[in-house]
């Protein structure tokens, strides 16, 4: 019998947050607080993923998941060489100013995904989630053989139905206010803006599969509302970014702290500037100057912008790094994960969530 959401002591799920924010400490802290934490496998080697899985287990946490980015099918991958060449030109002054070079365009590969999948199957991770597309039927079968619950992140009713048909045990329903990448099944498509409440209602009305609802959650009333609409659990990402357990970089933390100040003009935007895929984050100069030029080419753009982003992080400059954040960013507090989870759940109960 695969892992069940109804067994969670607290129906709150710590979102996988690739690129630094998710750490072993964060996954352990969410689990110890009674929730379900997810490791992020994107941009990580097999050794790193294996080490994280083993570290979380060694620290006594049995309830955790791991998230994978599903690559395009090789024949369906768009490369837009002319658009990429223009983007490299636009990136060049940024690279020069940072003292780095724009790397060669990497060739498209699905190796990271297949390697990560082998690791999570081998290590029998109890919850395995997929973003940007559906796992293959044979991959679902492999996970079910080791009793893993298969989770698929969806942004539309049609994608939810496709995921159920593919054998998903749980749907991660991501609304438009979510921080980070939107989980559209193709790179070029414009992410839907249908509200999370509306999307959730349409999905729970049409499928029996349990749902984790996420995107823009700021407080206990949001949690109570989503559970009341039929979600089995609620996912949070942005609310965890300022915790000491998260691996959020110093300039990213400062930008979030400034954004939570009363009267701050900070706001979030959907941008392709950093990776080629639409993602929500606090607006900064990199987005303003480059967002409108970025072609829909993922993950190549992520690699091309990497050295600039790393140099900006080292220079403590928030204007050229990803500042992924959902629309609830003003509620993110610099307190321990245990406090975020306990306070949020208590407030949800106060707002009538069924305990
Ligand atoms: C910094 C950051 C990184 C993220 N990375 C991932 C990821 O690796 N995989 C994934 O499925 N979702 C990722 N997401 C999206 C989350 O899974 C989730 O849908 C989102 O955080 C929920 O919205 P919220 O941030 O408003 O709570 C990321 C979100 C953030 C803020």
Cβ(307) to ligand 1 under 6 A?
no
CA distance linking residue 27 with residue 38, whole number of Å: 6
Which atom number of ligand 1 is nearest to the Cα of residue 69? 9
User: By the 8 A CB rule, do 50 and 77 touch?
Assistant: no
Q: What is the DSSP letter of 87?
A: H
Which atom number of ligand 1 is nearest to the Cα of residue 281? 31
CA distance linking residue 273 with residue 162, whole number of Å: 29
What would the mean pLDDT of 78-83 be, rounded to a whole number? Answer: 96
DSSP letters along 282-311, please?
E--HHHHHHGGG--S-TTHHHHHHHHHHHH
What's the CA-to-centroid distance between 251 and ligand 1, angstroms?
19
Query: For the chain, how far is it from start to end, CA to CA, in angstroms?
Result: 24
Least confident of 74-78, 179-183, 187-191, 246-250: 74-78
The CATH number for 290's domain is 3.20.20.70
Q: Is residue 186 part of a domain?
A: yes
pLDDT in tens, 5-59: 999 999 999 999 999 999 999 999 999 999 999 999 999 999 999 999 999 999 9
What's the CA-to-centroid distance between 114 and ligand 1, angstroms?
21
Helix extents (H) in the chain: 24-32, 46-58, 81-98, 111-122, 137-145, 157-166, 196-206, 220-228, 250-259, 285-290, 300-314, 337-350
Q: Is residue 192 part of a domain?
A: yes
Residue 130: in which H helix or E strand, if any? Answer: strand 127-131
Share of the chain above pLDDT 90, in %: 97
Quote the domain boundaries for residue 140: 5-350
pLDDT above 70: residue 186? yes
pLDDT above 80: residue 143? yes
User: 74: pLDDT confidence band, cut at 50, 70 and 90?
Assistant: confident
Q: Is residue 355 part of a domain?
A: no
pLDDT in tens, 155-177: 999 999 999 999 999 999 999 99
Q: Is residue 55 part of a domain?
A: yes
Residue 156 confidence (pLDDT)? 98
CA distance linking residue 102 with residue 45, whole number of Å: 22
Which residues are within 8 A (CB) of 184 and not within 5 positions of it... i.e. 6 or more apart? 132, 155, 191, 277, 278
Domain count, the chain: 1
What's the CA-to-centroid distance between 14 and ligand 1, angstroms?
9
Cβ(17) to ligand 1 under 6 A?
yes
Residue 275 confidence (pLDDT)? 98
pLDDT in tens, 255-301: 999 999 999 999 999 999 999 999 999 999 999 999 999 999 999 99
What's the CA-to-centroid distance between 123 and ligand 1, angstroms?
23
Share of the chain above pLDDT 70, in %: 100
What's the CA-to-centroid distance between 1 and ligand 1, angstroms?
28
Mean pLDDT in the chain?
97
287: closest CA among 299, 269, 312, 303?
269
CA distance linking residue 127 with residue 151, whole number of Å: 7
- Nearest residue (by CA) to ligand 1, atom 17, is 15
User: 229: pLDDT confidence band, cut at 50, 70 and 90?
Assistant: very high
What's the CA-to-centroid distance between 97 and ligand 1, angstroms?
30
What's the CA-to-centroid distance between 237 and ligand 1, angstroms?
5
What's the CA-to-centroid distance between 322 and ligand 1, angstroms?
12
Backbone angles phi, psi at 92, to 5 degrees: -55, -45
pLDDT in tens, 194-216: 999 999 999 999 999 999 999 99
Which atom number of ligand 1 is nearest to the Cα of residue 280? 31
Which atom number of ligand 1 is nearest to the Cα of residue 238? 25
Cβ(66) to ligand 1 under 6 A?
no
Backbone angles phi, psi at 127, to 5 degrees: -125, 125
Q: What is the 3-state secondary structure (H, E, C) of 60-79?
A: CCCCEEEEEECCCCHHHCCC
Cβ(40) to ligand 1 under 6 A?
yes
Cβ(235) to ligand 1 under 6 A?
yes
Backbone angles phi, psi at 106, to 5 degrees: -70, 155
pLDDT above 70: residue 123? yes
Residue 1 confidence (pLDDT)? 54
Q: Is residue 35 part of a domain?
A: yes
Cβ(174) to ligand 1 under 6 A?
yes
Cβ(14) to ligand 1 under 6 A?
no
Cβ(18) to ligand 1 under 6 A?
yes
- Nearest residue (by CA) to ligand 1, atom 30, is 180
CA distance linking residue 171 with residue 218, whole number of Å: 21
CA distance linking residue 343 with residue 138, whole number of Å: 41
């Amino acid at each position: 019998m695969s892992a069940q959401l109804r067994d969670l002591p607290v129906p709150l799920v710590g979102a996988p947050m690739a690129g630094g924010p998710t750490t072993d400490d964060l996954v352990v802290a969410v689990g110890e607080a009674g929730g379900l934490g997810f490791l992020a496998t994107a941009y990580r080697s097999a050794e790193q993923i294996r080490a994280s899985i083993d570290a979380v287990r060694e620290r006594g946490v049995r309830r955790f998941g791991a998230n994978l980015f599903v690559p395009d099918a090789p024949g369906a991958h768009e490369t837009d060489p002319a658009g990429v060449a223009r983007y490299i030109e636009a990136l060049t002054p940024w690279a020069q100013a940072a003292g780095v070079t724009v790397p060669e365009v990497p060739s498209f590969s699905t190796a990271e995904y297949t390697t990560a999948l082998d690791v999570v199957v081998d290590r029998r991770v109890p919850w395995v989630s997929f973003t940007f597309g559906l796992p293959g039927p044979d991959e679902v079968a492999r996970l079910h053989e080791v009793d893993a619950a298969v989770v698929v992140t969806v942004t539309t009713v049609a994608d939810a139905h496709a995921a159920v048909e593919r054998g998903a045990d749980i749907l991660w329903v991501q609304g438009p206010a979510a921080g980070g990448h939107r989980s559209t099944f193709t790179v070029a498509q414009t992410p839907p803006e249908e509200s999370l409440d509306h999307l959730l209602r349409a999905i729970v009305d049409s499928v029996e599969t349990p749902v984790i609802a996420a995107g823009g959650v700021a407080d206990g009333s949001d949690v109570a509302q989503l559970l009341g609409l039929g979600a089995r659990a609620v996912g949070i990402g942005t609310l965890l970014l300022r915790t000491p357990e998260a691996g959020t970089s110093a300039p990213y933390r400062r930008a979030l702290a400034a954004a939570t100040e009363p009267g701050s003009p900070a706001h979030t935007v959907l941008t392709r500037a950093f990776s080629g895929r639409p993602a929500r984050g606090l607006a900064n100069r990199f987005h303003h100057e480059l967002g409108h030029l970025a072609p829909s080419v993922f993950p190549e753009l992520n690699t091309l912008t990497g050295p600039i982003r790393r140099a900006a992080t080292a220079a403590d400059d928030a204007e050229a790094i990803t500042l992924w954040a959902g629309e609830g960013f003003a509620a993110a507090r610099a307190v321990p994960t245990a406090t975020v989870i306990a306070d949020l759940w208590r407030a949800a109960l106060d707002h009538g969530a069924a305990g």
